[in-house]
Structure 1
Amino acid sequence: MKVTLAAACGFCYGVRRAVELAGQAEKGTHTLGPIIHNPQVVGRLAAHGVSPVDSLDDVDKGAVILIRSHGVGPDVYEQADQKELKVIDATCPHVKKAQQDAKNIVEKGEKLIIVGEKSHPEVISISQWGANRAIIIDREEEAEKIPFCDSMGVVVQTTFSQEQFKRIAAILQRKTNHLDVHMTICTATQQRQQAAIELAGHVDAMIVIGGKNSANTGRLAQVCREQDCPTYHIETAAELDTAWFRGMNHIGITAGASTPDWIIQEVV
């Protein structure tokens, strides 16, 4: 059987940077939430003494806290300052830009629209920088329900589907006299989605590797299925089932931006 790895897959710059910062952190450092949406990486770091906490209330005064790649709202920085915490900021630069864009949109008096998953930590952090005034949507049907307004600004979750965002933005264009679009889907996400789409069109099935709680990995599986390609989303090689591939000759593999190289190689 022929196995082809997508031209772009695995760790992106922001995730690699966050994991490296966590790996260099002193024992006893805490990450605010899991460093990335990959249970295997989180487990490895915890074994080395860098473990996640749910809230700054869970850490002692003066402790070291690492802000993960998804980013946090301004209130978290203020609370960390009050507790005299040493902050290692591993927020992805692309997320930082989306946060700043949301802040600027609100300060200009425009209606803020965030396209992304409402419960995702990155989207929550972007909304908090937009003073929690955003309308958050992730489907065309929701865009259709937004009332008309004179001026509107839109930012998008960095790992969102490009094609779906284009469809939503086209609807928003009809909902305002002025649409200020900030294309904040990061380059790495675009490259990974495009490479997955191209590969899915030439193979009998796709394997998508990454955390089940990883938004960008879920998007990769989504775009592969949209090519009418049988697609299996797994976290590790232990989940592979040879029955999936009976009668097939060519299998494609891709991986989310929070999936480390060693897990990809095990699956290959």
Structure 2
Amino acid sequence: MPMDVVIAEHAGACYGVERALKLAASTARETTGSVHTLGPLIHNPLVVDELTQAGVELAENLEDVASGALIVRTHGVVPQVIEDARGRGLNVVDATCPYVKKVHHAAARLIQEGYQLIVVGEAGHPEVEGILGHAGGEAWVVGEPSDLDQIEVAKRVGVVVQTTQTADRLAAIVAALSTRVQELKVVNTICEATSERQRAAAELAERSGCIIVIGGKNSGNTRRLAEICRARCSNTHHIEDANEIDASWFCNVELCGITAGASTPQSHIQRALDRIEELGA
């Protein structure tokens, strides 16, 4: 009996990523000088390699860029970086995801209103670092409820969320905070595209004998998709490249589900489908 292959209802590149890739492509076409991204444009090593081949180089810091165009990654940066880049005479192309910008505005507003700011997210992640920068650095990053034990929690607390976090994690941290504060203002900045992908992946994993999750190993939202799927289907595999797919994964499998992170282009999903067909699964 042939195996059925089903792609999750919501999978692959979100609006912010598609927008950033289009900006990078148009900047490369229209710029006579060098074009760099400040850090990886998105968390997908294959896409970064493809951009390099298209003439968009990767710069880890401003000192690596002498002239030309500088593309700000989808995760955003602290405001000072953009100011410094423009001060160096660079043409700054801001590819920050519009939904990440909403977090920046919400964080700054909560600080202005006098709340102690807590950012629910992954410490050290570029998006979180950008959020902290727009909050003036006056914030705490919390990834789990237990992290609150390291903080002197104020009476008035405001909360924003890294766009790719799960609703369950936010709910757990809010529940822990609610018993410790007098006033709690939560701005739920989880991106709907992220929530849609997580719900669709969970639904598909529940009925699949194998799940393939496509996207960068350095992508937080893709790793979370893999965690969600693995909790429901032990035969879950997180891959970056279609060549990683192994025929042994499909032994006695009637339904193989495929999902992909928000930083995964549709072309990478198609490569996985082609690979499965090539294996005769």
Q: Could you state the TM-score of these two structures normalised by the residue count of structure 2? A: 0.92
How far apart are the structure 2 equivalents of 1:65 and 1:89? Answer: 8
Aligned residue-pair number: 267
How far apart are the structure 2 equivalents of 1:77 and 1:157? Answer: 21
Q: Secondary structure at the match of 1:176?
A: coil
How far apart are the structure 1 equivalents of 2:112 and 2:76? Answer: 20
Question: Is residue 183 from structure 1 mapped to residue 195 from structure 2 by the alignment?
Answer: no
What RMSD, in angstroms, separates the aligned Cα atoms of the two structures? Answer: 1.3
- Residue in 2 aligned with 1:34? 40
1:192 deviates by 0.4
- Residue in 1 aligned with 2:85? 80
Question: Is residue 102 from structure 1 mapped to residue 107 from structure 2 by the alignment?
Answer: yes
- Residue in 1 aligned with 2:242? 237
- Residue in 1 aligned with 2:16? 14
How far apart are the structure 2 equivalents of 1:97 and 1:50? Answer: 27
Which of residues 55, 58, 81 in structure 1 aligns to 2:61? 55
1:162 deviates by 1.6
How far apart are the structure 1 equivalents of 2:184 and 2:120? Answer: 14
- One-letter amino acid matched to 2:260: A
How far apart are the structure 2 equivalents of 1:229 and 1:103? Answer: 42
1:68 deviates by 1.1
1:144 deviates by 4.7
- One-letter amino acid matched to 2:166: S
- Residue in 1 aligned with 2:276? none
How far apart are the structure 2 equivalents of 1:148 and 1:50? Answer: 44
- Residue in 1 aligned with 2:272? 267
1:145 deviates by 4.5
Q: Secondary structure at the match of 2:128?
A: helix
How far apart are the structure 2 equivalents of 1:162 and 1:208? Answer: 20
Deviations 1:17-61 (A, max 9, x none): 001100111352111011111111111111111111011111114
Deviations 1:87-126 (A, max 9, x none): 1111001100101111111122211101111111001000
Structure 2's unaligned 5+ residue stretches are 274-281
How far apart are the structure 1 equivalents of 2:150 and 2:208? Answer: 39
Identity of aligned residues (%): 45
1:231 deviates by 1.3
- Residue in 1 aligned with 2:277? none
Write out aligned runs for 1:97-176 (5 A): 97-176=102-181
- In structure 2, the CA distance between the partners of 1:128 and 1:115, relative to structure 1 (3 Å rule), is same
How far apart are the structure 2 equivalents of 1:11 and 1:235? Answer: 14
- Residue in 2 aligned with 1:196? 201
Deviations 1:117-138 (A, max 9, x none): 1111001000111111111011
- In structure 2, the CA distance between the partners of 1:80 and 1:182, relative to structure 1 (3 Å rule), is same
